[in-house]
Structure 1
Amino acid sequence: MIALGARLKGSQVVKTLGFKPNFCDYTHGEMDLIRRADTIYWPTAFYAGLFSAMNKKIFPSVNNYDFALDKIKQTAMFKLLDLPHPRTKLFYGKTQKQRITDLFKFPFIAKIPRGSSRGKGVFLIKGQNDLITYLKIPGPAYIQEYIPTQRDMRILIIGREIVLAFWRTAADNEFRTNLSQGGKISFSNLPSQALELALQTARCCNWNDVGIDIMEHQGKPMVIEANMKYGTQGFKAAGIDYQKLLERLILTGKI
């Protein structure tokens, strides 16, 4: 069993070859391993589509890579699947961006739609000055309704099952719940509806290594976004050895 990405580097179960964009830089032995492998784990964004095109089994799925760090595609998918999701709209170009305040009242959320993570590209737009500053960022404006809450849920799915779920509570004077922004973890009971929605979202989108963020609004769960490059702080807090968990799932044929 082999991997390209570093997720299982050092594992005694899966041999990690590392990522080399020039395929010819792999040794002949490594090339042979890649060609003969039943499954290639963490093939990287570069190779996932190539292996999928040649009908090579990979984990995680090619969809995982296609939607990673892309809020635009994720939102489009949520709407196509009619999944509950905060009201969101994209604005392209200067003319469209001038209409933002016609459709959204302050305060609202603005995000860097591609490439951002860990809460760094999420802004609470309280007034016109905040909006002017945000619109200086190149690219489309990703605008979302602001639903005040101090906590949400991170539900982690590997393969076809939930392996960990927890609440994230925002730090004082912070609207973001990200752990990297000071959010705190709680393992108190999560509503079953939220767990079911996370599983439904992952399965419908064919995401099999993902953290689904869920919030509650008016007593019902709502999908915020999907994180394919999730952190492992939650596993540490729960006393779970993340690498051994992955190895167990591989050895039992669950991934």
Structure 2
Amino acid sequence: MAIGARLKKCPQILTLGFKPNFSDYTSKERELLLNTPRILYPTAFYADLFNAMGKPTFPSYHTYKFAMDKIKQTAMFQMMNIPHPRTRIFYGKLSRERILAEFCFPFIAKIPRGSAQGKGVFLIQTPEHLDAHLSLKGPAYIQEYLPFDRDMRIIVMGREAVFSYWRVARGSDFKTNVSRGGEIRFDPLPREALDLARATAQTCGWDDVGIDIALAEGKFYVLEGNMKYGTKGFKKAGIDYKDFLCRMVLEGKV
């Protein structure tokens, strides 16, 4: 059974929908939730609670905990020696001076929490760009600029890379996000990138994630994990994502 809506069209799975007040579920629904061996798509709210009571979920508790948090993801990549662009997080009034002492223009600045679809990613080319970015609230997440005009989105479900494609930036835009105009291409991906995506997801405890990987200067880098990945790539490939996901669950692959 499921709480979140991703499997709502799968007739073999009972989807209850999200209710922040657990008491709003019927007594029968509460009994099912407490006694079923695993909960599918528990939502970020209930993933914590089911983890505390020892109940397995899909996606995993860790998948939810790292969602849209670049600071936590970067810390994990650094701890586990996962190849990742050189990244530093800066706090406080001396951030500007410390950033300029450690990074040369151009470099990348990102809003570290809650941003998606490339909206919180900035190319910092001048001191004025940096000042404008530092006027935003929160810590400064600064990353080295790597020269590439395309990257790879690799969807990992369970323990396998189940779908992948290239994202190619349009024109002079440095962002490859499909939501920002990036082009989807299905040219074959390097085996090394697919293996790196699988290993990264397994190391981090993520079992439903879009891993973004770039090849720059002859080296593969994991850029980030996207737990709320888009499905336009599936659509362009002629795959019904919800049907695909339903089959993955029913066939025991996740």
Match status 1:135 vs 2:125: no
SS in 2 for 1:3: coil
User: What is the Cα deviation at residue 96 of structure 1?
Assistant: 3.1
Q: Quick one: distance in 2 between partners of 1:50 and 1:124?
A: 39
Q: TM-score, normalised by structure 1?
A: 0.98
Counterpart residue identity of residue 186, structure 2: F
Conserved? CA contact 2:9–2:242, under 8 Å: no
Q: Partner of 1:42 in structure 2? A: 41
CA deviations over 1:143-185 (Å, ceiling 9, x no partner): 0000121100000011111111110000112110000000001
Q: Distance in 2 between matches of 1:69 and 1:188?
A: 28
2:220 aligned counterpart, secondary structure:
strand
In the alignment, the residues of structure 1 paired with residue 249 and residue 37 of structure 2 have an alpha-carbon distance, to the nearest angstrom, of 12
Q: Please give the alpha-carbon distance, in whole angstroms, between the structure 2 residues aligned to 1:160 and 1:176.
A: 28
1:237 alignment counterpart = 236
1:97 Cα deviation (Å)? 3.4
- For residue 200 of structure 2, what is the amino acid of its counterpart? T
Q: Which runs of 5+ in 1 are unaligned?
A: none
The equivalent of 2:203 in structure 1 is 204
Deviation at 1:244, TM superposition (A): 1.3
Residue 77 of structure 2 aligns to a residue whose secondary structure is helix
Query: Which residue identity is paired with 1:72?
Result: I
The 2-side partners of 1:184 and 1:45 are apart by 30
Alignment check: 8 A CA contact 1:97 1:141 kept? no
> Is structure 2 residue 236 aligned with structure 1 residue 246?
no
Q: How far apart are the structure 1 equivalents of 2:204 and 2:45?
A: 20
Q: Quick check: 1:94 aligned with 2:93?
A: yes
Instruction: Please report how far the alpha carbon of residue 243 of structure 1 lies from its aligned counterpart in structure 2 after TM superposition.
Output: 1.1
Asked if the contact 2:106/2:125 (under 8 Å) is kept, the reply is: yes
Q: Which runs of 5+ in 2 are unaligned?
A: none
CA displacement at 1:98 relative to structure 2: 2.5
Structure 2 letter corresponding to 1:18: G
TM-score, normalised to structure 2's length?
A: 0.98
Q: Distance in 2 between matches of 1:100 and 1:250?
A: 46
Which residue of structure 2 lines up, in the alignment, with residue 106 of structure 1?
105
Please tell me the root mean square deviation across aligned C-alpha atoms, in Å: 0.9
Alpha-carbon contact 1:155-1:198 (below 8 Å) kept? yes
8 Å contact from structure 1 (residues 157, 211) kept in 2:
yes
Alignment of 1:149-228 (within 5 A): 149-228=148-227
Q: Percent identity?
A: 57
User: In the TM superposition, what whole-angstrom CA distance separates every residue of 1:17-42 from its partner, at most 9, and x where no partner exists?
Assistant: 11111100111111111112121100
Tell me, yes or no, if the aligned pair for 2:87 and 2:141 is still in contact at 8 Å.
yes
Aligned partners of 1:6, 1:171: CA distance in 2, in Å? 33
- 1:74 equivalent to 2:52? Answer no
Question: Which digits, 9 at most, give the CA deviation of each residue in 1:188-211, with x for residues without a partner?
Answer: 011111111100000001100000
User: What is the alpha-carbon distance in structure 2 between the residues aligned to residue 98 and residue 16 of structure 1?
Assistant: 52
Aligned residues: 254
1:69-127 deviations in Å (ceiling 9; x for gaps): 00000000000000111000000011133211111011100000000000000000010
Whether the aligned pair in 1 keeps the contact of 2:95 and 2:140 (CA below 8 Å) is: no
The answer (yes or no) to whether the contact 1:40–1:58 under 8 Å persists in 2 is yes
- The answer to whether the 8 Å contact 1:5/1:43 transfers is yes
Aligned residue number for residue 115 of structure 1 = 114
SS class of match (1:144): strand
- Partners of 1:220 and 1:147 lie apart in 2 by 10
What SS class does the counterpart of residue 94 from structure 1 fall into? coil
- Give SS of 2:112's match: coil
Q: Is the 8 A contact 1:88 1:142 kept in 2?
A: yes
Once the two structures are TM-superposed, the CA of residue 254 in structure 1 deviates from its matched residue by 1.5
SS of alignment partner, residue 72 of structure 2: helix
